[in-house]
A and B are shown apart, each in its own frame.
Chain A
């Protein structure tokens, strides 16, 4: 590890923090040493298998059963001694039903854990032993031989080494090295544990993506449901009242012919206003979600908007089996919004709307077909998503179901808008 900064004060801090008596050194040492008791059952089992191959197969079986317990033990070792949380693996399979057990034994996470217990744990125990020995020899060499070295030469016991100075220096070096050795082993162990005892990152991300896709589908469905509820409320409430109002004004106009001209004008005006309000409300409510879409599907619903367009529209819908309600709603919105845009900006004489359902050309759709919507107009072109809010809204709505939108609109036309929606939602 590099000594950062170089300022004397920081150098001093760094030395004390990594000295053999520092908390850092003890923590790593305690952690690596604790690998020995944790590995004992496994070591014992392996020894039995090697020494007595026949009945010795029983202990490894026991270890298989002990797996979850060992995992918990190792996890607590990491937490207590290193302050490191190895993330828990989302358990597959239930608790102790046979089926749950089978599923658990077949899960990849379970086997990674056994990998840790059978391979890493014995190695960690050996490493722990090395660290303990390093400390022990270090203390012995630096202590005993240092003591002998200090004493006058005459008092030395005959037969003991005379290289007291060398051994003492070696012992001190060993003492200095032991914490680093412990730190190295602890790091390796932690890395192995993160890889084998923790969750599989790729698998975890995959699951997360699945969860997100599911919850987004839920949100979309909820929004769609809400739109339908609003449509129903307006239809049963405001629309009916307005129609009743317009009708009563109409009756008044028809049954009261002898009214003063002024009153008559007021009634006429109110009557006209009411009818316009109905018209406006109708197109608003219809944009939310037409009942016929739910009832008869896209073809029927689209013929409604195609007929109301202020230019001739050629419509062809060939989708066979109906896609999901949300996809249908998005498709309806796409056509409705596009035709509104064409009417507003394109100065088109004619427009063609095609809806087909089929497999994706490049096979990229998840689990199903694509709904391909093509709207072609012979207008002036130059449609630019960067400028129009309509096209931005369209893009957002299409994106909400993982659809794609392609706009080809050279200046002078024609404009072709192609939208593809995956049906497998």
Chain B
């Protein structure tokens, strides 16, 4: 699998290359800004783009905007965003672009737990999702105004939804909560029912379930 890296800190970039290679990726391009990233993605069409959110010249959300463009222009490239702080708004923007490729948004410090990070990299590259628990916490934040769909969930269902939003599989959730996989499946079905998500959408329902809380509109 081929990957490009956009990260303006050289120190971190070197480390990220190492980790990507450990995970079995071939790093075809490295760059320090959004423009370079878009050019590299256009040229190499990689399987994965690993992108820092804050990059020159503005140092605000260049990475997010670049990620949105990548999802539009090369839908086959999965994007994993890294950020010092995760913001649910950025995650919402990304999740709203529903293309087939995987998407991830993690705190930078998750890189330190190399095995878990590699896990997330592979998951995203193969079309899955990896959301930071902190993003999920923000997504699940109760918002005033309008009926709160979360109110209908039991605490256990919320836990399951949170892990689901992070991108865990049913097996992963079951291991985390120390319950059986069938129990997890039962919870998930109950969540879908409470959030009025019809079964036709298949796997995407997992992302939709999270998305639903963004607007508060079922």
Q: CA separation between A236 and B11, bound complex, in Å?
A: 11
Known: A251-B22, A254-B114, A278-B109. A290 touches B85 (CB 8 A): yes
Stretch at the interface among A110-118, A157-165, A292-300, A363-371: A292-300
Q: CA separation between A254 and B116, bound complex, in Å?
A: 11
User: Which of A239, A250, A274, A301 has the most C-beta atoms of chain B within 10 angstroms of its own C-beta?
Assistant: A250
Q: Is A271 an interface residue (CB 8 A)?
A: yes
Q: Taking CB as reference atom, which chain A residue is nearest B137?
A: A307
Q: Taking CB as reference atom, which chain A residue is nearest B7?
A: A240
Q: Is A172 an interface residue (CB 8 A)?
A: no
Known: A300-B89, A315-B141, A315-B142. A251 touches B84 (CB 8 A): no
Q: CA separation between A274 and B59, bound complex, in Å?
A: 24
User: Which of A249, A296, A312, A313 has the most C-beta atoms of chain B within 10 angstroms of its own C-beta?
Assistant: A296
Contacts of A393 in B (CB 8 A): none
Stretch at the interface among B12-20, B70-78, B120-128: B12-20
Q: Is the CB of B12 within 8 A of A312?
A: no
Q: Is the CB of A240 within 8 A of B109?
A: no
Chain A: interface residue count, which band? 35 or more
Contacts of A314 in B (CB 8 A): 142-144
Q: Is B115 an interface residue (CB 8 A)?
A: yes
Contacts of B112 in A (CB 8 A): 243, 246-247, 249-250, 271, 274-275, 278
Contacts of A315 in B (CB 8 A): 141-144
Known: A307-B138, A352-B144. A244 touches B12 (CB 8 A): yes
Q: Is B54 an interface residue (CB 8 A)?
A: yes
Contacts of B137 in A (CB 8 A): 307-308
Q: Is A22 an interface residue (CB 8 A)?
A: no
Q: Is the CB of B22 within 8 A of A254?
A: yes
Q: Is the CB of A282 within 8 A of B134?
A: no
Q: Is A248 an interface residue (CB 8 A)?
A: yes
Contacts of B134 in A (CB 8 A): 307-308
Taking a contact as CB atoms closer than 8 A, the residue among B88, B89, B109 that contacts A275 in the complex is B109
Chain B: interface residue count, which band? 35 or more
Q: CA separation between A251 and B109, bound complex, in Å?
A: 13
Contacts of B85 in A (CB 8 A): 282, 286, 290-292, 304
Q: Is the CB of B54 within 8 A of A294?
A: no
Q: Is the CB of A303 within 8 A of B89?
A: yes
Q: Is A253 an interface residue (CB 8 A)?
A: yes
Q: Is the CB of A240 within 8 A of B11?
A: yes
Q: Is the CB of B145 within 8 A of A236?
A: no
Q: Is the CB of B22 within 8 A of A255?
A: yes
Contacts of B185 in A (CB 8 A): none
User: Which of A247, A271, A286, A314 has the most C-beta atoms of chain B within 10 angstroms of its own C-beta?
Assistant: A247
Q: Is the CB of B114 within 8 A of A244?
A: no
Q: Is A210 an interface residue (CB 8 A)?
A: no
Q: Is the CB of A292 within 8 A of B22?
A: no
What is the CB-to-nearest-CB distance from A311 to chain B, in angstroms, rounded to a whole number?
Answer: 11
Q: Taking CB as reference atom, which chain B residue is nearest A314?
A: B142
Q: Is A306 an interface residue (CB 8 A)?
A: yes
Q: Is B217 an interface residue (CB 8 A)?
A: no
Is chain B's binding surface mostly helix, strand, loop or mixed? Answer: helix
Contacts of A275 in B (CB 8 A): 109, 112
Q: Is the CB of A316 within 8 A of B19?
A: no
Taking a contact as CB atoms closer than 8 A, the residue among B15, B88, B142 that contacts A248 in the complex is B15
User: Which of B22, B109, B143 has the most C-beta atoms of chain A within 10 angstroms of its own C-beta?
Assistant: B109
What is the CB-to-nearest-CB distance from A6 to chain B, in angstroms, rounded to a whole number?
Answer: 79
Q: Is B212 an interface residue (CB 8 A)?
A: no
Taking a contact as CB atoms closer than 8 A, the residue among A278, A282, A300, A313 that contacts B88 in the complex is A300
Q: Is A395 an interface residue (CB 8 A)?
A: no
Q: Is A235 an interface residue (CB 8 A)?
A: yes
Q: Is the CB of A295 within 8 A of B60?
A: yes
What is the CB-to-nearest-CB distance from A341 to chain B, in angstroms, rounded to a whole number?
Answer: 20
Q: CA separation between A328 and B164, bound complex, in Å?
A: 34
Q: Is B157 an interface residue (CB 8 A)?
A: no
Contacts of B144 in A (CB 8 A): 314-316, 352, 354
Contacts of A253 in B (CB 8 A): 114
Q: Is B9 an interface residue (CB 8 A)?
A: yes
Q: Taking CB as reference atom, which chain A residue is nearest B118?
A: A254
Q: Is the CB of B145 within 8 A of A247?
A: no
Taking a contact as CB atoms closer than 8 A, the residue among B15, B59, B108, B117 that contacts A291 in the complex is B59
What is the CB-to-nearest-CB distance from A306 to chain B, in angstroms, rounded to a whole number?
Answer: 6
What is the CB-to-nearest-CB distance from A398 to chain B, in angstroms, rounded to a whole number?
Answer: 23
8 Å CB contacts to B: which residues of A308-329? 308, 312-316, 318
Q: Is the CB of A243 within 8 A of B111?
A: yes
Q: Is B181 an interface residue (CB 8 A)?
A: no
Contacts of A269 in B (CB 8 A): none
Contacts of A312 in B (CB 8 A): 142
What is the CB-to-nearest-CB distance from B81 to chain A, in angstroms, rounded to a whole number?
Answer: 13
Residues of B within 8 A of A (CB): 8-9, 11-12, 14-16, 18-19, 22, 54, 59-61, 84-85, 87-90, 108-109, 111-115, 117, 134, 137-138, 140-145
Q: A243-B111, A247-B114 known; 14 other A-B pairs, CB under 8 Å?
A: A235-B59, A239-B84, A243-B12, A243-B108, A247-B15, A249-B112, A251-B22, A253-B114, A275-B112, A278-B109, A303-B141, A307-B137, A314-B144, A316-B144
A selection of 11 A-B contacts at a CB cut-off of 8 Å is A236-B8, A250-B113, A254-B114, A285-B84, A291-B54, A296-B61, A307-B140, A308-B134, A314-B143, A315-B141, A315-B143
